[in-house]
Amino acid sequence: MKLIDYEKINAKGYLIAAVFIIALGIGIQFKYLNEFPAFIHAWAQDDRYALAIGFLNNGFDLFHPETMIYNKQFPGDWQVAYDTTITAVDFPIHEYIVALLMKLFGTTSPWVFRLWTMICSFIGLFFLYKLSYLITEDLQKSLLVTSIAMTAPVYAYYFNGFLPGIPAFAIGIIGMWAYIKYVKHGKKKYFHLGILLMALATLIRTTFAIELIAVLGFELLRIFRKESRFADKLPSVIISVAIIIAYMIWNSHLRSEHGSLFLNKLLPPDNIENAKELISLAKEHWEYQYFQKLHYRIFEVLAGLALIAAIVKLIMKFKGKAEGKSNKKQLTIWLIPIIYIFGCILFTIAMMDQLPNHDYYFVDTFFLPILILYALMLGTLPQIKNYIVGGISLVVLCALCFFMVKNVNETQVNRRWIEDGAYKTYLNFVGSDEFLDSLNVPRNTKILALYAYPQNGPFIQMKRKGYTIMWHSEKVVRQALTWDFDYVVIENQVFREQFEEHKDVLDRLNRIADNGRISVCTLSETTICNSPEDFFGNNSY
């Protein structure tokens, strides 16, 4: 019996889904389209922003990515200053494309980066709809899965942001769609497409290796059950593994030669008690950022209904056996998210120390398999064929979307706290490039930015490279003062509020100029001021 490819007869549904995704996405995200990365995880987002600008600076050399910082976190914890700003990092094709767009548009403004990420999100969500439709064969159920994804607070926050997890997530979704299409319809080209896309997602964000391994594990089970053949899988698998290993070797070379701003080691808990504490903190910080309360309630209801459906199906299966009917079926695709989630749990254990402070790890790991589970559970419900039932379900879908959008708009605002340290730093450095230009400070000048958080943000705004000291550590500061910098830049507010805490450095600054928010200084070998008043003189900043 020939399988029906419902996707081919769903052209109208594709149009509805595309309009729905774009309209909802713009409605939630438009006001943030040119927002400089600040607030939650400005550190990570600034680093990625700096990578894009780095490609503009290095003539688009993809294999020598760089930021704006000479002293790297790894190894040496900011105490080692390198001759270049090159850094080891996961395959930065995302930032490379952004750099090309910046060149095309003639600007490095945040909207270029955000626009590209938003486009990636739109494409990924469209394929999430297609993936859900493959599973549910129903437009409204697929739109519900898509709307849950779009209104998950953590995903909405990074939806048009700077982190590579969003484009990697989109590529991972397309890869999963291709693989499920292969499983359902047997076309080998979709297997190869799916594996290669998952490999690309892994290159961009290593955590998507979990998806690739889960799918290969599921396919191996199908081979053991003689539902699939081994030989015709080899080309894409060999190519994918070879490319991933090759870039890992190259990245290791970059790390040994130039250091890195990006973490590349495991951070498991110290013991069981520490693990419990970290999980408790993560729950406290992020439980209703991963998903909304409404999302959890929907999941609980669907899980209950899916369980009932499974029991009914099991009864029918035993009844069929009693009547002598054949019950041999293909391996259920439910195993894919189950294997996937198991892999995510192992990763979470390996990186648990990061869990309380890194919400975006959820998008990199559990988010996709949970969305697949949503689709699978919806797929157990009866098909909507009656117009009355369809109308009622449409009203329910619209009501759910209304409350989900209302909640995510609130969380978007709540995540942008005006007292956030990164936001204050951003405000202080607004226009700093023009200020330095007015002082005839060359663009190739090396600047030591004292106590400015996060590290790359001020340099992006100053359009100059240099060294960063984000917080006071006597050992780090003492080392930094020996580096080859031309000027020291400090935020005036930090100088006033924390002078006594940082007196061993700040009393040696010789102020050249300031604009009321930042001061440009040189470093003296002797003490030249004993208080902020000595530093600023009669100026009332």
| Residue range 65-123, pLDDT digits in tens | 999 999 999 998 899 999 999 999 999 999 999 999 999 999 999 999 999 999 999 99
- pLDDT band, residue 540 (cuts 50/70/90): very low
Q: Is the same domain home to 136 and 181?
A: yes
Instruction: Identify which has the larger pLDDT, 493 or 385.
Output: 493
| Beta-carbon contacts of residue 434 (< 8 Å; ≥ 6 apart) | none
Q: Is the same domain home to 363 and 253?
A: yes
In a domain, 55, yes or no: yes
Distance CA 335, CA 157 (A): 30
In a domain, 391, yes or no: yes
Reading across the β-sheet that carries 466-469, which strands appear in turn?
Answer: 466-469, 447-450, 487-491, 518-523, 509-514
- Show which of 392, 414, 436 is a domain's final residue: 414
- pTM of the complete model: 0.93
In a domain, 1, yes or no: no
Q: pLDDT tens digit string along 125-136?
A: 999 999 999 999
Q: Is the same domain home to 116 and 158?
A: yes
Distance CA 495, CA 477 (A): 15
Distance CA 30, CA 111 (A): 10
In a domain, 457, yes or no: yes
Q: Could you write out the three-class secondary structure of 331-350?
A: CCCCHHHHHHHHHHHHHHHH
- pLDDT band, residue 320 (cuts 50/70/90): low
- pLDDT band, residue 318 (cuts 50/70/90): confident
- pLDDT band, residue 505 (cuts 50/70/90): confident
Average pLDDT over residues 341-349: 97
Q: Is the same domain home to 289 and 343?
A: yes
pLDDT at 322 over 80: no
- Show which of 414, 438, 460 is a domain's final residue: 414
- pLDDT band, residue 399 (cuts 50/70/90): very high
Minimum mean pLDDT among 168-172, 184-188, 344-348: which range? 184-188
In a domain, 541, yes or no: no
Q: Is the same domain home to 409 and 432?
A: no
DSSP strand E in 391-430: where?
none
What pLDDT score was predicted for residue 319?
A: 73
In a domain, 285, yes or no: yes
Q: Is the same domain home to 339 and 442?
A: no
pLDDT at 370 over 60: yes
- pLDDT band, residue 323 (cuts 50/70/90): low
- pLDDT band, residue 327 (cuts 50/70/90): low
What pLDDT score was predicted for residue 4?
A: 59
Structurally, how many domains does the chain consist of? 2
Average pLDDT over residues 6-33: 88
Q: Is the same domain home to 410 and 480?
A: no
pLDDT at 477 over 50: yes
DSSP-assigned beta bridge partners for residue 80? 72
Q: Is the same domain home to 390 and 500?
A: no
Instruction: Identify which has the larger pLDDT, 6 or 219.
Output: 219
- Show which of 363, 379, 414 is a domain's final residue: 414
What pLDDT score was predicted for residue 541?
A: 47
Q: Would you state the structure tokens that stand for residue 209, as one six-digit string?
A: 């290796």
Distance CA 20, CA 135 (A): 20
CA distances from 97 to 51, 73, 100, 102, 443 (A): 11, 26, 5, 9, 24
Domain that holds residue 456: 422-536
Average pLDDT over residues 437-465: 96
Q: Would you state the structure tokens that stand for residue 420, as one six-digit string?
A: 């956030």
What pLDDT score was predicted for residue 122?
A: 98
What pLDDT score was predicted for residue 1?
A: 42
Instruction: Identify which has the larger pLDDT, 309 or 541.
Output: 309
Q: Is the same domain home to 408 and 459?
A: no
Q: Would you state the structure tokens that stand for residue 173, as one six-digit string?
A: 């979704």
Q: Would you state the structure tokens that stand for residue 403, as one six-digit string?
A: 């409350």
Mean model confidence pLDDT for the chain: 92
Minimum mean pLDDT among 11-15, 73-77, 221-225: which range? 11-15
Instruction: Identify which has the larger pLDDT, 524 or 346.
Output: 346
Q: Would you state the structure tokens that stand for residue 494, as one six-digit string?
A: 């930090």
Q: Is the same domain home to 371 and 435?
A: no
Q: Is the same domain home to 391 and 455?
A: no
Q: Is the same domain home to 173 and 86?
A: yes
- pLDDT band, residue 325 (cuts 50/70/90): low
Q: pLDDT tens digit string along 236-271?
A: 999 999 999 999 999 999 999 999 999 989 999 999
